[in-house]
Structure formats: C-alpha cells, structure tokens
Amino acid sequence: MPDARGSSPSPWTVVGEPTIEETNEHMWIVRGHVPRMPLGRYMVVVRMEDGRLLVHNAVALPEADMKRLEDWGEVAYLVVPNGFHRMDAKAFADRYPNAKVVAPVGARPKVEEVVPVDLTYDRFEGDGVVSLRHAAGIDEKEGVMTVTAEDGKTMVFTDLLFNVPHQRGLMGLVIRLMGSTGGPKVTWLFRKVALRDKEALRGFMQQLSGTEGLVRLVPGHGVVIDEAASQTLAAVAERL
C-alpha cells in the first residue's frame, strides 16, 4: 500500500549494532554504521521546546530503541543533511508520514530522488533549542545544525567535517587514500567535489568557531569532539 507520500514503504534495515548516548536533556547522539565501511555515521535526535523531535541524518534502530525514541516525543522533522546521507531517509519518512522532510537548498534534487522535501534550511524556523544554516562556499549543498542545551552548544556537521583516526587493514588504506583519516579536517575529497569558494568556507568556519558556549562538534564520520571545540574548528578552518 502506498503511504501518505504516495510511495511504497521502504524496508526497515538495521546495520550493525547502533549505540545511543542520551547526551543532555535535548539531544541524543546515535552512532550507526555504514554497510561494508568502517567509517560509521551519526544520527542526532533533538527534543525541541514543544517536546516534538527533530531527527538529523536518520539511522534505523532496533524496534525497542525506536519505541524509546517515540516515547521521548513525536517525530516532527526529518533532516536529510546532504545528497549522500539518504540511506534511511525513506524508511523514516514511511514510518512518520506526518513529519516534514528538511534538506539544504543545493541538495534538494538529490534528496528528492529518495523522498519529497517539504522545507529547505532557509525556510526552517527552528526554536531556542535547534537551528539550521547553510555553509558558505559550497553552493548550499550542506549545512550545520546547532543544538543549545544546559551543557552548552553542539554543532552537528555532515561530510564537511571528518574526525576519523588512522585505521589499519585494506579498508583503512581505502579511507586513507580518500584523505579521510588523521583527525579533524575538511577532506581533500570534499574540497574536490563540493568546495566552490575556499575563502568563504574558511570565513564561515572561523565565524562558527567564535560561537559562545560551543562545547561539542559532531562530525559526519569519526569521533565526536567534546574538548576544545572552538579551537579545533578554528584550526580546521586555518588548514583549508
């Protein structure tokens, strides 16, 4: 049967064993997995001021964990953060047909190959807990989500920021050849594929690094940065 969006339901596929960190009163950070790749990926779930949930970069969880999520609040927004992080977007849209799908302006055509987009980042109003903005210098194909809670501000990135340690083995070699390992960085692959104005992106990231109360950076792949977040982001900008 087609759902409210006029498409057939997508299978609910859990990859590996996702882990959930209930980071603060407004945010869960969920570490998921990428099939056949050791990169990992993050879903961030935000509980907004009115108690509804925003899901950034959806990751399918086991049913017991999905029930926990649904007990926390109604899923109101599904953020598909770029044209590549779409793996579980349709499955979530099928499960939550009343949730609004949000995507960056420049990523909208790619996202809509999988699921219709209701709002772009520039149309998302947010609240005192969560905001979305486009990153400069990359044709609005990606952006940054900021979450404000009692412990400070968290910035959530996608492929714009990696923090993948060096890894051994064949897959580690592949990831190294992609320029994706070796600590916090904008990878050479991202610069080649997405970057249009290096100085604009550098200025944007420098501006972000000056955000008061910044305590945490969630990269698209790798390890969450929860020490010296501002200094780390400034250093990444300087190395662009």
Return the structure tokens found at 162: 């990696």
Do the Cβ atoms of 166 and 174 come closer than 8 Å?
no
Per-residue pLDDT of the chain (240 residues; tens, 9 = 90+): 233 333 445 799 999 999 999 999 999 999 999 887 767 899 999 999 999 999 999 999 999 999 999 999 999 999 999 999 999 999 999 999 999 999 999 999 999 999 999 999 999 999 999 999 999 999 999 999 999 999 999 999 999 999 987 555 545 555 555 545 568 999 998 999 999 999 999 999 999 999 999 999 999 999 999 999 999 999 999 999
**Beta strands 27-34 and 37-47, pairing class:** antiparallel
Backbone angles phi, psi at 33, to 5 degrees: -130, 160
Return the structure tokens found at 140: 């609005």
* Amino acid at position 81, single letter: P
Question: How far does Cα 37 stand from its chain's mean position?
Answer: 18
**Beta strands 119-120 and 130-134, pairing class:** unpaired
Report which of 93, 186, 87 is spatially closest to residue 144, judged by C-alpha positions.
Answer: 186
The C-alpha atoms of residue 224 and residue 48 are separated, in whole angstroms, by: 22
Tell me the pTM.
0.91
105 φψ region: left (φ > 0), alpha (ψ -120 to 50), beta (else): alpha
According to CATH, the topology of domain 19-238 is Metallo-beta-lactamase; Chain A (3.60.15)
Do the Cβ atoms of 163 and 186 come closer than 8 Å?
no
